[in-house]
Amino acid sequence: MVHQTKVNEPNGSPHNASKALARDVGEFALDVLTLAELQAQLFAADVQQFSRRALFPGLVLLCGAVLGLACIPFALAALALLLIQIFEVSHAAGFLIAAVVGAAVSVLLCVFGWLQVGRRAAVLGRSQQELVRNVRWIKKVLERSRISRRNSSDNSWRTVT
């Protein structure tokens, strides 16, 4: 193989290759940090928008829960009085009916509030979708870099004839 000559290109030297790799890694790290910063800003904007949208449904949910808890003792007392005075039922039946009515109103308010909060939380999907796109991009860049490094290192031993 005397007639073959090796090509000594400056780009093929280990010193230049390490500089290029460091530059590529640095540029990639800068891109990743920029994406992370933008992702955090988007998430903060989404949380702020969510908090504005979820204020009223959150208050409804809170009121439903408070009402449900507050209804328990009053419902029992009201049931006892109602059954004794109007329907002439036992004390146990009156307390049971009052508790069921209070619980039903509480459940309705909580379900309504929960559904409204869930609808407003959809705005956070923007951040999630953007994060998925960013992670895919990072994986794609890393894979492309890995393939190009593998191809360049596979060809480094070849000589020109």
pLDDT in 10s for each residue of the chain, 161 residues:
555 555 555 555 556 767 776 677 778 878 888 888 888 888 888 888 888 888 899 899 999 989 888 877 876 687 678 777 998 887 777 778 777 887 888 899 899 999 988 888 777 777 778 888 888 887 787 777 767 766 766 555 455 54
State how far the Cα of 112 lies from the Cα of 52, in Å rounded to an integer. Answer: 18
Output the pLDDT for position 111: 94
CB-based contact 85:127 (threshold 8 Å): no
- Structure confidence at residue 32 (pLDDT): 82
Residue 26 in 3-state DSSP? helix
- CA triple 45-123-42, angle to 5 deg: 30
Strand partners, 31: none
| pLDDT of res. 82 | 76
Total length of the chain? 161
- Residue 35, C-beta contacts closer than 8 angstroms, at least 6 positions apart: 134, 137, 138
Domain ranges of the chain: 10-155
Q: How far is CA 69 from the centre of its chain?
A: 32
Q: Please tell me the predicted confidence (pLDDT) of residue 108.
A: 93
Q: Per the confidence metrics, is the pTM higher than 0.75? A: no
Contacts of 115 (CB under 8 A, 6+ apart): 57
CB 84 within 8 A of CB 13: no
